[in-house]
Structure 1
Amino acid sequence: MTITQLQYVLAVAEYKNFTLAAEKSFVTQPTLSMQVQKLEDELDVLIFDRSKKPISITEVGEKIVAQAKNIVNEASRIKDVVDQEKGFIGGDYTLGIIPTIMPTLLPMFLKTFINKYPKVNLIIKEQSTETLIRNIQDGHIDAAIAATPLEIEFIKERPLYYEPFVGYVPQEHRLGKAVTITPEDLDINDVLLLQDGHCFRDNVINLCKAPRNLGQEAFRLESGSFETLINLADENLGMTLLPYLNTLVLDEKKKEKLKYFEKPSPAREISLIYHKSELKIQITNALREVISSVVRGAIAFQDVKIISPINK
């Protein structure tokens, strides 16, 4: 039994296809199939039921796959321990970021990080929170930046910053002449929302204390980007809420439509999240230090109230 064989088993278990598993493992299909077969012969069990399409995992195979994940992770820790002992910060590191954070945060820290840690090959993926969680569990990404708390047993959360919500309100709107706003001023029926799948949408619904089973008729419009929501608000189709960092890039005319909340300002907690096994923790710590130092200068708000992205 070898680590490589276990890695091949995990690939087949994930993709349910030997050809695709071989492609993702950067080996030929016959090589991967032969190694999986050798492991099955050694253990005298079938890990995969090849008679089904897609390939399925046998009952004993499920137990083997679960143990293989632990073994492969622990094997990876050996190199990780050596790197930490040497103080080496480098190598491949895959970071996931949710879509409502990527456009504003990434330009703020990326150049600083790659200049400070040139030996790190940073691979960045924009993914939904649900996908990030699954990829952290499966070991496909090393860490992610997402809105928290998530309250997931296998994930560690380390807050980076607290980002206040800001209202974007057309002058003709009922709140257009307000100096400041409060959560009680909000009417979910005229707040333009991001579409399902964005945690910021859940933040806003929780802030408005709206029921979770709102029907489609409760919303006039939904969109996948803040830019679209702003444009729709400019057409007097409602108001919207923006994360604070998104307001910094608006032109002066649009900034005139911003309405800040009375303190404590509702805010979302943004954290660096990663598996509790803490693989590549030295890179994770370096990343957190860079991001925290950069954002600290952009967000000076202290008196905030965290709005959870978790459905309640």
Structure 2
Amino acid sequence: MTITQLKYVLAVAENQNFTKAAEKTFVTQPTLSMQIQKLEDELEILIFDRSKKPIELTAVGKKIVEQARNIVNESERMQDVVDQEKGFIGGTFKLGIIPTVMPTLLPMFLKTFSNRYPKVQLKIEELNTDEIIAKINDGYLDAAIAATPLQNKKIKERPLYYEPFVGYIPESHRLFSSEKLEVKDLDIDDILLLEDGHCFRDGIINLCKVSKTSSSEKFQLESGSFETLIKLADEGLGMTLLPYLHTLDISSTQTKNLKYFKEPSPAREVSLIYSKSELKMQIINSLHDIISGVIRGAIAFQDVKIISPTKK
């Protein structure tokens, strides 16, 4: 049994296809198939049910894959230990970022990080929180940037910053004349929300402490982007809530619609999250330092109340 064989098994389990797995691991398909066959012969079991399309894991194969992930992760930890001992910061690093953070935060730190650590090859993927948690636990991501707390025992969280919610309220809305917003004034039925699957949406629902299920609604509008929500609000179809960093990019004519909350302002905690196995900590520490430093000048809010992004 070799680490290489276990990596081939993980590739097939992920892609559910021998050809795609071979492409991802940079070997020919016959070579990959032969090595997996040798492992199955050695263990005297079938890891994959090849009669299914796409290929599926057998019952014992699922257990083998889980153990293989642990072994491969621990083997990579050896190189991690050596890199830390040498002070080397480099190699491939897979980072996930949630959609409501990606467009504002990434331009703020990416160039600085790349210039300071040119030997690190960042592979960045936009994913929702559930996808991020699954990929960290399965070893497909080294770390991620997401709203926390997540209350997941397998994942460590290191806060990067606290980002207040800001109201975007058109002139026709009942709250437009308010100098400062209060949580008790919010009505979930006239808040335009991101579509289901976004943790920022869940945070707003938790903030309002009800579900958007009123039968008196004339319509329900949900969108995948803040830009669309702002346009809908400008049309008088309701108000919306934005993360603070997103408000820095809106036009000067729209700033009149921004309304801040009375302190403590409801806010989301944005953290760098990673597996408790703590692989590639030298890169994780470097990312944390760069992002924390860059963000320090952009968000001056101190008195905030953290709203959980997880559904209650």
**TM-score range relative to shorter protein:** over 0.9
Q: How does 1:291-310 map to 2 (within 5 A)?
A: 291-310=291-310
Give 1:65 deviation, angstroms: 1.6
Q: Tell me the distance in 2 between the aligned counterparts of 1:164 and 1:288.
A: 20
Aligned to 2:112: 112
Aligned to 1:153: 153
- Deviations 1:49-98 (Å, cap 9, x if unpaired)? 22333323223222222211111111101110000000111111111111
Q: Is the 8 A contact 2:194 2:223 kept in 1?
A: yes
Q: Is the 8 A contact 1:189 1:219 kept in 2?
A: no
Give the alignment's Cα RMSD to 1 decimal. 1.6
Q: Tell me the distance in 2 between the aligned counterparts of 1:187 and 1:32.
A: 57
2:32 match: secondary structure: helix
Give 1:301 deviation, angstroms: 0.6
Q: Tell me the distance in 2 between the aligned counterparts of 1:216 and 1:292.
A: 44
| Percentage of matched positions with identical amino acids | 70
Aligned to 1:33: 33
Amino acid at match of 2:17: N
**Structure 1 spans left out of the alignment, 5+ residues:** none
Q: Tell me the distance in 1 between the aligned counterparts of 2:304 and 2:266.
A: 6
Q: Tell me the distance in 1 between the aligned counterparts of 2:59 and 2:207.
A: 45
1:261 match: secondary structure: coil
Deviates more, 1:157-166 or 1:20-29: 20-29
1:240 match: secondary structure: strand
Amino acid at match of 1:173: H
Aligned to 1:80: 80
Aligned to 1:284: 284
Aligned to 1:100: 100
Aligned to 1:20: 20
Aligned to 2:128: 128
Q: Does 1:50 align with 2:56?
A: no
1:256 match: secondary structure: helix
1:181 match: secondary structure: coil
Q: Describe the shift of the 1:293–1:218 C-alpha distance in structure 2 as closer, same or farther (beyond 3 A).
A: farther
Name the count of aligned residue pairs: 312
Q: Is the 8 A contact 1:192 1:219 kept in 2?
A: no
Aligned to 1:209: 209
Amino acid at match of 1:134: A
**Structure 2 spans left out of the alignment, 5+ residues:** none
Give 1:37 deviation, angstroms: 0.6
Q: Describe the shift of the 1:101–1:75 C-alpha distance in structure 2 as closer, same or farther (beyond 3 A).
A: same
- Deviations 1:14-52 (Å, cap 9, x if unpaired)? 222212221222211111000001111122222222233
Q: Describe the shift of the 1:55–1:294 C-alpha distance in structure 2 as closer, same or farther (beyond 3 A).
A: same
Q: Does 1:234 align with 2:234?
A: yes
Amino acid at match of 1:244: Y
Q: Is the 8 A contact 1:158 1:273 kept in 2?
A: yes
Aligned to 2:180: 180
Q: Tell me the distance in 1 between the aligned counterparts of 2:215 and 2:99.
A: 24
- Deviations 1:231-276 (Å, cap 9, x if unpaired)? 1111111111000001111122111111000000000000001111
Q: Tell me the distance in 2 between the aligned counterparts of 1:212 and 1:233.
A: 17
